[in-house]
Amino acid sequence: MLPSGSADAAGVLYRVQHETRYEYEAPVELAHHLAQLRPLSLPGLQECEQYECEIQPRPQHLSTDVDVHGNERLFFAHYASHDTLSVRALSLVRVRAPAQPDWAASPAWEQVRAMLRYRAGRPNLPAADFSFGSDFSPVFDEAAVFAAPSFPPGRPLLDAAHDLMRRIHATFTYDPESTEVHTRAPQALELRHGVCQDYAHVMLSALRSLGLAARYVSGYLRSHPRPGEQALVGADASHAWVSVWCPSNGWVEFDPTNDRRPAADYVRVATGRDFADVSPLRGVIRGGGRHVLHVAVHVAAASA
């Protein structure tokens, strides 16, 4: 088991437990799975000090690699029949509050859009890869129309992104029964209901539809707030938010579900174009029939 720890001036040390369990109505004969459960190590922001992943039944194949976005992926396979699958990830992660962006240095959003556009003979910015539509967060007219009130001519990018975050929070209703894991941004924008994944996908589409670069961030929130703090929506489950590229500040995070910028109570696990790049656990199986899924997440200061 992982050792206990404590919070200090250099950050907060969190113990993270993420459990997933499948119960199948018929035996699974063959299974290949991919898990993205190890928290990221990001200089100056967070460090994954210890990580272990327990899989039952024990897989016959196990390997890891790092994807193009810098996320660690765990591949495992079962070649023997089984009727349950349990994946339990345990982590110790030290998290620091992100540096406050230099809001005054943020260029106008049109300037940033122009920087991200391809020009023959000019090097392409790496962030430009996140200005294109993706499966869950495509570029579409309704998203640009929704974003427009936050992006008048000449407005600094970070001010505009902050206003867009607040408008999404104000006009959407958090409703776990309204959408499913495969719901895309166009449907979520039409419904104006959903969960954190939907809030993030809509914000991504809105930004990308204006030619701006934004990426999906998956992770966790502190499960129990400190005394006097309000509980955040999305605790005790995987959470999702957005980071926006600003040339003067790099990637700046926004959480439209909770109408705030992520602080030291957010643990980052993976980044990508949308949920499809960062799904905690996915796979292909033969057999199994129907299944029952149980997921539990708990994040607490390691001294608690």
In terms of DSSP H, where are the helices of the chain? 109-116, 141-147, 157-171, 185-191, 196-208, 275-278
- H/E segment holding residue 21: strand 12-35
Phi-psi region of 194 (alpha: psi -120 to 50; beta: other; left: phi over 0): left
Average pLDDT, the chain: 92
Residue with structure tokens 């199986």?
285
Residue with structure tokens 């928290």?
39
CA distance 91 to 66: 18
Helix, strand, or coil (residue 49) = strand
User: Which structure tokens are listed for 241?
Assistant: 């938010």
CA distance 83 to 189: 38
89 burial class (0-12, 13-18, 19+ CB within 10 angstroms)?
Answer: buried
Q: What pLDDT, in 10s, does the model give residues 94-108?
A: 999 999 999 999 999
Range 282-294 burial, b when 16+ CB lie within 10 A, else e: ebebeebeebeee
Q: What pLDDT, in 10s, does the model give residues 27-50?
A: 999 999 999 999 999 999 999 999
CB distance 277 to 270 below 8 Å: yes
Phi-psi region of 210 (alpha: psi -120 to 50; beta: other; left: phi over 0): alpha
* Domains of the chain, start order: 12-96+279-301 (2.60.40.2250), 103-263 (3.10.620.30)
Q: Tell me, what's the pLDDT at 233?
A: 61
Q: What pLDDT, in 10s, does the model give residues 58-88?
A: 999 999 999 999 999 999 999 999 999 999 9
Q: How far apart are the first and last CA of the chain?
A: 16
pLDDT band at 6 (very low <50, low <70, confident <90, very high): very low
Q: Tell me, what's the pLDDT at 8?
A: 47
Q: What pLDDT, in 10s, does the model give residues 141-200?
A: 999 999 999 999 999 999 999 999 999 999 999 999 999 999 999 999 999 999 999 999
